[in-house]
């Protein structure tokens, strides 16, 4: 059984062959293809269903199936495999029309060569080794972006690569539908949270629009006491009520209901606000935003709509995994030589999907903004390998930055810190990793995810046509500087 939200999309599996082989061989190709696709469809490493879409023998068939794939909203991508030799001039007209993410699986039906039995009939039936080379050539010649996965189809690593690419393809599809609501504008004078919203919509499909905070306040006024009662009851079930200031908690519930109604009415997947523009709202949404994040909505503080969208997107791409994905900010450091650590948090809005313990609802004053003390969730993050992701606008082009991190259990209790927090060690090490993040222009805001991977981000960036720079254990400042010089050239001339 596939995860419910993923089950309404499917990937089409196209097998390449040609008429030359005759019916007997083509029947075998068909049987093999169905066995392979059914097995992949059942594989837990593939989060999405996969459907056998036929064995292609002529250019007419190929063009027809590509047009069908393009027109089918439930088709999230196309995977091809040449079981036999499939002359690639047959594929040109079809592939030139292809608008869906494209993956070339280079495998063969049999794992081993049957040494004792092998004859020319076997050789002619099982010739992916050269059929897929002919196919690879035409995709290279046409300059088509595609994912190439090599290996035996029953092997876990091959299935994991397919699964990873499926998430990226799904992310490309969701990107084209993604809407973000901004309540108010960005925090004044901040640079990195700005960006070209028209350019982003052309490139990524994101629709980012602003509503006045007054519109949200009016929505809050229409929330009933009964609705607040029900949500507070839900808070009590999910979290530990560690405050007697129930009115503050009820106010957060009122904010959450109003924001959620707004988002759902506009079909939006995330939102931003800023403590600088709350108008008559009495509290900055804290618990409200945290609970919305836990439900899968994206959020960005201080009007940061790019991080709100990335958070919504990465949550959606990994919605079946639940190891924790949310909005994050590099806050402060522990600079103990050789064991330097980052302490990440935000004013309030840390996603409870990171929690290592049952979150506590507490009410504390906020140092800035001059509003009432807001209710918020407090917890420590759980340990594990994760990735920080930041999308920045470089002026006419977008750059996606990611970095491997190791989240650790915070070294000491911090009894006076009234926000949820995570502590981590950046790759390849604190000094070089942080130098590289700053060198490439990575923001102080990011999406932290225990579920996303470099591979998914790389494939997604390629599908969206944007630059991706990853900082991992192999990265070095020297090589990154070289890479930046080259990619600055490449991406500058690719500006639309």
Size of the site for Mn ion (CB under 5 A): 3
CB-nearer residue toward Mn ion: 207 or 342: 342
Cα dist from 96 to 66, 89, 112, 138, 145, whole Å? 9, 11, 35, 11, 12
CB-nearer residue toward Mn ion: 171 or 344: 344
Residues 6+ apart with CB under 8 A from 428: 471, 472, 473, 474, 475, 476
CB-nearer residue toward Mn ion: 391 or 464: 391
Is-cis flag, bond preceding 155, omega within 30? no
DSSP secondary structure letter of residue 392: E
In degrees rounded to 5, what are phi and psi of residue 254?
-60, -45
Q: Does 433 bind Mn ion (CB under 5 A)?
A: no
Q: How far is the CB of 444 from Mn ion (least distance, A)?
A: 7
Q: How far is the CB of 301 from Mn ion (least distance, A)?
A: 4
CB-nearer residue toward Mn ion: 219 or 302: 302
Q: How far is the CB of 328 from Mn ion (least distance, A)?
A: 10
CB-nearer residue toward Mn ion: 159 or 311: 311
CB-nearer residue toward Mn ion: 79 or 419: 419
Residues 6+ apart with CB under 8 A from 203: 398, 464, 465, 466, 496
For residue 336, the surrounding DSSP H or E stretch is: none
Encoded one letter per residue, x for contact with Mn ion by CB under 5 A and - for no contact, window 283-302 reads ------------------xx
CB-nearer residue toward Mn ion: 329 or 362: 329
Q: How far is the CB of 447 from Mn ion (least distance, A)?
A: 13
CB-nearer residue toward Mn ion: 293 or 456: 293
Q: How far is the CB of 60 from Mn ion (least distance, A)?
A: 56
Cα dist from 3 to 317, 320, 321, 341, 459, whole Å? 12, 6, 10, 36, 22
Q: How far is the CB of 329 from Mn ion (least distance, A)?
A: 5
Q: How far is the CB of 190 from Mn ion (least distance, A)?
A: 8
Q: How far is the CB of 296 from Mn ion (least distance, A)?
A: 21
The pairing of beta strand 467-471 with beta strand 375-378? unpaired
Q: How far is the CB of 273 from Mn ion (least distance, A)?
A: 11
Q: How far is the CB of 297 from Mn ion (least distance, A)?
A: 17
Residue nearest to Mn ion (CB): 301
For Mn ion, the binding residues in 392-421 under the rule CB under 5 A are none
Take residue 79 and report the two structure tokens written for it.
Answer: 């995977």
Exposed/middle/buried for residue 18 (C-beta within 10 Å: 0-12, 13-18, 19+): middle
Residues 6+ apart with CB under 8 A from 179: 206, 207, 208, 209, 266, 267, 268, 269
CB-nearer residue toward Mn ion: 45 or 187: 187
Distance in angstroms (rounded) separating the CA atoms of residues 130 and 126: 10
CB-nearer residue toward Mn ion: 329 or 467: 329
Q: Is 279 helix (H, G, I), strand (E, B) or coil?
A: coil
Distance in angstroms (rounded) separating the CA atoms of residues 8 and 73: 10
Encoded one letter per residue, x for contact with Mn ion by CB under 5 A and - for no contact, window 341-380 reads ----------------------------------------
358-371 b/e with 16+ CB inside 10 Å = b? ebbbbbbebeeeee
For Mn ion, the binding residues in 318-347 under the rule CB under 5 A are 329
Exposed/middle/buried for residue 264 (C-beta within 10 Å: 0-12, 13-18, 19+): exposed
List residues binding Mn ion (CB under 5 A).
301-302, 329
């Amino acid at each position: 059984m596939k995860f419910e939200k993923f089950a309404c999309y499917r990937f089409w599996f196209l097998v390449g062959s040609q008429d030359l082989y005759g019916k007997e061989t083509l029947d075998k190709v068909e049987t093999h293809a169905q066995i392979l696709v059914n097995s992949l469809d059942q594989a837990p490493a593939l989060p999405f269903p996969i459907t056998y879409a036929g064995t292609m023998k002529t250019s007419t068939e190929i063009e027809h199936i590509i047009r069908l794939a393009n027109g089918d909203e439930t088709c999230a991508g196309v995977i091809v495999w040449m079981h036999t030799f499939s002359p690639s001039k047959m594929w040109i007209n079809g592939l030139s029309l292809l608008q869906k993410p494209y993956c070339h699986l280079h495998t063969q039906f049999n794992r081993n060569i049957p040494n004792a039995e092998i004859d020319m009939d076997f050789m002619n039936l099982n010739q992916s080794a050269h059929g897929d080379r002919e196919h690879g050539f035409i995709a290279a010649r046409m300059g088509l972006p595609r994912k190439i996965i090599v290996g035996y189809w029953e092997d876990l690593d091959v299935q994991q690569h397919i699964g990873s690419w499926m998430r990226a393809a799904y992310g490309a599809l969701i990107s084209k539908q993604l809407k973000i609501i901004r309540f108010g504008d960005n925090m004044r004078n901040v640079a990195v949270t700005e960006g070209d919203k028209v350019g982003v919509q052309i490139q990524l499909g994101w629709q980012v629009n602003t509503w006045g905070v007054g519109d949200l306040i009016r929505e809050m006024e229409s929330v009933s006491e009964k609705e607040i009662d029900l949500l507070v009851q839900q808070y009590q079930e999910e979290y530990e009520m560690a405050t007697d200031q129930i009115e503050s908690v009820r106010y957060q519930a009122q904010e959450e209901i109003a924001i959620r109604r707004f988002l759902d009415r506009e079909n939006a997947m995330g939102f931003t606000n800023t403590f600088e523009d709350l108008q008559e709202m009495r509290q900055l949404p804290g618990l409200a935003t945290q609970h919305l994040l836990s439900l899968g909505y994206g959020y960005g503080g201080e009007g940061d709509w790019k991080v709100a969208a990335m958070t919504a997107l990465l949550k959606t791409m990994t919605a079946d995994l639940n190891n924790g994905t949310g909005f994050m900010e590099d806050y402060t450091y522990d600079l103990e030589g050789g064991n330097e650590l980052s302490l990440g948090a935000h004013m309030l809005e840390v996603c409870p999907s990171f929690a290592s313990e049952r979150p506590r609802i507490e009410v504390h004053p906020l140092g800035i903004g001059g509003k009432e003390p807001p209710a918020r969730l407090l917890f420590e993050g759980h340990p594990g390998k994760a990735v920080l992701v930041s999308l920045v606008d470089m002026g006419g082009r977008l750059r996606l930055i990611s970095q491997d991190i190791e989240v650790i259990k915070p070294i000491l209790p911090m009894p006076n810190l009234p926000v949820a927090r995570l502590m981590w060690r950046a790759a390849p090490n604190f000094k070089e990793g942080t130098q590289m993040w700053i060198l490439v222009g990575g923001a102080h805001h990011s999406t932290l995810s225990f579920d996303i991977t470099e591979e998914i981000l790389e494939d997604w960036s390629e599908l969206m046509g944007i630059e991706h720079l990853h900082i991992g254990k192999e990265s070095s400042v020297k090589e990154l500087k070289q890479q930046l010089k080259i990619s600055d050239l490449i991406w500058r001339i690719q500006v639309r």
